[in-house]
């Protein structure tokens, strides 16, 4: 018996079983069919609600679970996001910026939108550098960030580049990460220790 036949046979069995149970309920409660329909509707809504919770469970868990935890003694613990990446929320020059941790990037790379958000006029930058990405070569402009703060941890005069291309998410590369004494991944979390 192939897998397709097995699934079809199982489905047929479940439909016949459900029909038999439904027939039994109707036969037992034929005197009060209105009440039976009302109860069936309630159970149907409960079932649909349970299916919705199961389908949205990852989104619900991500909303309830903290996205970033700053631990005492110079440690930052970043939980792995559902997409498999680690994200860090930092205040750059006093403005909130969400970075994806990218150990394959040698520098901090700002998107055009994030650069403008922190007060950099991207139209006046000199895009003299080049970066090679999965999408090809893009031009970059060097900048210096006055401060990058994560909780009480503040780093000053951080070198970065602004990506001239269409970058969706700013990247936190090794030029920033090397400011920590250790980077480890444990139990689904990245821990940065100062």
Q: Answer for the pair 47, 157: CB distance below 8 angstroms, yes or no.
A: no
Quote the pLDDT of residue 21.
80
CA distances for 169 relative to 147, 164, 166, angstroms: 19, 13, 9
Direct distance between the N- and C-terminal alpha carbons of the chain, in angstroms, rounded to an integer: 60
pLDDT digits (tens, 9 = 90+) for 57-86: 666 665 555 555 656 678 888 888 888 899
Are 157 and 105 spatial neighbours (Cβ–Cβ below 8 Å)?
Answer: no
Per the rule left: phi > 0, alpha: psi between -120 and 50, beta: everything else, 132 is beta
* pLDDT of the residue at 100: 94
**pLDDT at res. 111:** 94
Q: Please, which pLDDT band fits residue 1 given cuts at 50, 70 and 90?
A: very low
Tokens of 131: 């970066």
pLDDT tens digits for 74-133?
888 888 888 889 999 999 999 999 999 998 889 999 999 999 999 999 999 999 999 887
Angle at 169 between CA 113 and CA 75, to 5 degrees: 115
The DSSP element (H or E) to which 132 belongs, if any, is: strand 129-133
For 49-61, what is the mean pLDDT? 71
- 178 or 13, greater pLDDT: 178
Cα separation, 194 vs 179, whole angstroms: 7
């Amino acid at each position: 018996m192939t897998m397709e036949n097995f699934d079809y046979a199982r489905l047929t069995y479940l439909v016949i079983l459900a029909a038999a149970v439904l027939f039994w309920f109707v036969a037992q409660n034929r005197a009060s069919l209105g009440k039976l329909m009302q109860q069936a509707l309630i159970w149907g809504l409960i079932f649909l609600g349970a299916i919705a919770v199961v389908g949205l469970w990852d989104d619900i868990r991500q909303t309830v679970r903290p996205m970033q935890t700053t631990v005492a003694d110079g440690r930052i613990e970043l939980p792995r996001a559902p997409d498999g990446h680690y994200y860090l929320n930092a205040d750059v020059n006093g403005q909130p910026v969400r970075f994806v941790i990218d150990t394959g990037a040698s520098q901090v790379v700002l998107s055009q939108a994030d650069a403008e958000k922190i007060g950099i006029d991207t139209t006046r930058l000199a895009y003299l550098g080049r970066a090679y990405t999965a999408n090809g070569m893009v031009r970059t402009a060097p900048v210096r960030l006055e401060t990058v703060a994560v909780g009480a941890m503040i780093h000053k005069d951080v070198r970065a580049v602004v990506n001239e291309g269409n970058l969706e998410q700013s990247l936190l590369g090794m030029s920033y990460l090397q400011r920590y004494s250790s980077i480890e991944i444990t139990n689904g979390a990245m821990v940065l220790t100062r």
